[in-house]
Amino acid sequence: MDQKQKSTVKMNVMNPGNRLGHTQSKAPEREQWANKLEFILAVAGHIIGLGNVWRFPYLCYKNGGGVFFIPYVLFLFTCGIPLFFLETSLGQYTSQGGITCWRKICPLFEGLGYGSQVVVLYTGMYYIIILAWAFLYLFSSFRAELPWLIYKRLYKLCNRRRILGLSDGIDNIGNIRWDLALCLLLAWVLCYFCIWNGVKTTGKVVYFTATFPFVMLVVLLVRGLTLPGAKDGIMFYLYPDPSRLTDPEVWMDAGSQIFYSYGVCTGVLTSLGSYNKYNNNCYRDCVYLCLLNSLTSFVAGFAIFSVLGFMAKEQGLDISMVAESGPGLAFIAYPRAVALMPLPQLWAIFFFIMVIFLGLDSEFVYQEALVTTISDMYPSFFQNNCHRKLLLLGINVGSFLVGLVMVTEGGLYIFQLFDYYACSGMTLLLFAILQSVCIGWVYGGDRQYDNIKDMIGYRPWPFMKYCWQYFTPAICTCTFLFSLIKYTPLKFNNTYEYPWWGYAIGGLFTLSSTLMVPLWILYKLLKAEKQFLKFHC
């Protein structure tokens, strides 16, 4: 077997890192963002979502108030920003989506791309259910009297029975809630037309969808700060408790929040970055976007807890009795709070419009990333824009049909399975470890820095490279192991235990994405061995 044949076999497993865009055959010309602002707004719309409003403030007060920023900032600078920059720069350098970028950089780790796209597919299926709830609440806000004002203390029960029609378990799915199903259809139609013509459409839509939530957030913030009891709510949000830093769960929460809110390890940032001009300064963009994301989370806490402080004062309750996280904050606690204000319909409308736009941005960017990734795998076929639109339509229709199961009377149980297992934090941590090792050591941190210098004209601060090689994989590994040790099976509302087959479905959700990586590595190694034996013999 001569040297040329040996290098051919090696190339099938790992790309040696030549300038990709100039050494390979020319692909069909790729669309690009019309300008930098479109890219900035698209990424901002994706990462600044519902988690900034309903998860970060709750975690902050739960984990020691102001001291929570210590582990949060540590994870931000050692994991969040480095991974964010890594994925965006990969997309910009290769001009490829979440799978084919790994095929060009390091084919051995192409399974990372497949696994991340499975996560994106699952996320798109269940995340849009939140928009269906928000639309139903928005339409209810136009009534002469708000439903949650009528039921007052029975509102939690009302929410589950009226809005969700909740059954007594996952084994009793019940009927489809057709009002929710129509709201779900509306959400999918909006999502489709936001991205139906690729980045030409997306780039224009984000001018409104990415900026309007900020306007609503400022309006709600100003209103909240003028309410009686707002100061108590903010103190509750930020009052420091240094003793909480000794609790490992606080650090776990900080790390998980970074992964959830920065959209890393899903390939979405890679797809969005792939539409950049080659010489765009993605390093500067990424740092500014990450800081904007964290600042938005911080400010959102003031908007939320000022209103919760008002609600607690009006009802004579401790703030801990009204503070909730996740959908409970958006669809139970906050609506009850605005119902106590003057002009409650107005503030409810403002709030749910903000929720819809925050969710819609994230949702259609997930779909854009998925379509981009598949299109890049078959560029000749999807160069025809009609084929791309049909692909998007097929994904949306299929996801809508799956989503119908989650708007049944037992749909919330299935929604929680998707949230807990299909988009598992442990899966994202595993992907973070692998892609850091891949770029930092297998492909080479210095080689990636050379690629970045070729794009932006200078080498970024070396700290990023050291994070890829040392800090990010080490911290993510510790967090991953801690997650395994602290793992507890999902309980709906902390009381309902799923049947064994419910947990089995959840396990299949997780394995369907994580197993993509080792299976692909095994496939490539066996293929390389087969080629070696063929040439050797």
Query: pLDDT (tens digit, 9 = 90+) per residue, 120-168?
Result: 999 999 999 999 999 999 998 998 887 776 545 444 444 555 555 677 8
| For residues 83-95, average pLDDT | 97
Beta bridge pairs of residue 497: 491
| DSSP sequence for 376-407 | HHSHHHHTSHHHHHHHHHHHHHHHHHHHGGGG
Type of residue at 280: N
Side chain identity at 493, as an amino acid letter?
Answer: N
* Amino acid at residue number 134: A
- Output the CA torsion 222→224→225→226 (10° steps): 90
Residue 29: how many CB atoms within 10 A of its CB? 8
Q: Which amino acid is at 301?
A: G
Decide if 80 contacts 357 (C-beta within 8 A): no
Amino acid at 184: L
CB < 8 Å & 24+ apart, contacts of 497-500: 498/170, 498/413, 498/417, 499/169, 499/170, 499/171
Distance set, CA 25 to CA 13, 20, 376, 410, 530 (Å):
19, 10, 14, 52, 26
Structure letter (DSSP) for residue 372: H
Which token pair is 484?
């395994």
Residue set of the binding site? 45, 52, 261, 293, 358, 361-362
Could you give the percent of the chain with pLDDT greater than 70? 90
CA–CA separation, 197 and 187 (whole Å) = 18
Q: Are 433 and 473 in contact (CB under 8 A)?
A: yes
The stretch 507-519 carries a mean pLDDT of 94
* pTM of the complete model: 0.89
Closest to 37 measured CA to CA, from 378, 288, 335: 288
For the stretch 40-77, pLDDT in tens is 999 999 999 888 888 888 888 888 888 999 999 999 99
Structure tokens at 367: 């779909």
69, 81, 436: which is closest to 254 by C-alpha?
Answer: 69
C-beta of residue 456 within 8 angstroms of C-beta of residue 279:
yes
**Measured between alpha carbons, how far is residue 299 from residues 224, 294, 442 in Å?**
12, 9, 40
278-310: pLDDT as tens digits: 999 999 999 999 999 999 999 999 988 898 888
Nearest residue to 236 (alpha-carbon basis) of 329, 317, 303, 306: 306
Long-range contacts of 174-180 (CB under 8 A, 24+ apart): 174/408, 174/409, 174/410, 175/408, 175/409, 176/404, 176/407, 176/408, 177/407, 177/408, 177/409, 177/411, 179/136, 180/132, 180/133, 180/136, 180/407
Model pLDDT, residue 150: 57
What is the 3-class SS of 267-280, one letter each residue?
CHHHHHHCCCCCCC
Q: Comparing 13-22, 106-115, 194-203, 340-349, which segment has the lowest mean pLDDT?
A: 13-22
CA dist., res. 364 & res. 378, Å (int): 21
Mean pLDDT for 498-505 is 93
Task: Dump pLDDT digits (tens) for 217-248.
Answer: 999 899 889 989 999 989 888 888 898 888 88
The pLDDT of residue 476: 93
φ and ψ at residue 167, rounded to 5 degrees:
-85, -175
Contact 305, 61 (CB under 8 A): yes
CA distance 304 to 173: 34
CB 170 within 8 A of CB 502: yes
- Average pLDDT on 328-346 reads 80
- Computed over every residue of the chain, the mean pLDDT equals 87
Is the separation of the CB atoms in 509 and 417 below 8 Å?
yes
Burial class (CB in 10 A: 0-12, 13-18, 19+), 153: exposed
Are the C-beta atoms of residues 352 and 134 closer than 8 Å to each other?
yes
Of 88-102, 411-425, 500-514, least confident by mean pLDDT is 411-425
Residue 458 DSSP class = S
What pLDDT, on the 0 to 100 scale, is given for residue 158?
46
Whether the Cβ atoms of residue 424 and residue 510 lie closer than 8 Å to each other:
yes
* pLDDT score of 185 more than 90: yes
Binding-site positions for Na(+)? 45, 52, 261, 293, 358, 361-362
- Please tell me the distance from the alpha carbon of residue 303 to that of residue 217, in angstroms, as a whole number: 7
Question: Which one, of 486, 36, 407, lies nearest residue 187 by Cα?
Answer: 407
> How far, in Å, CA of 267 to CA of 289, rounded?
17
**What structural domains and CATH numbers belong to the chain?**
3-16+34-536 (1.20.1740)
Q: Give the tens place of pLDDT for each residue, 358-408.
A: 999 999 999 999 999 999 999 988 878 899 999 999 999 999 999 999 999
Instruction: Give mean pLDDT, residues 495-504.
Output: 91
Least confident of 75-89, 370-384, 443-457: 370-384
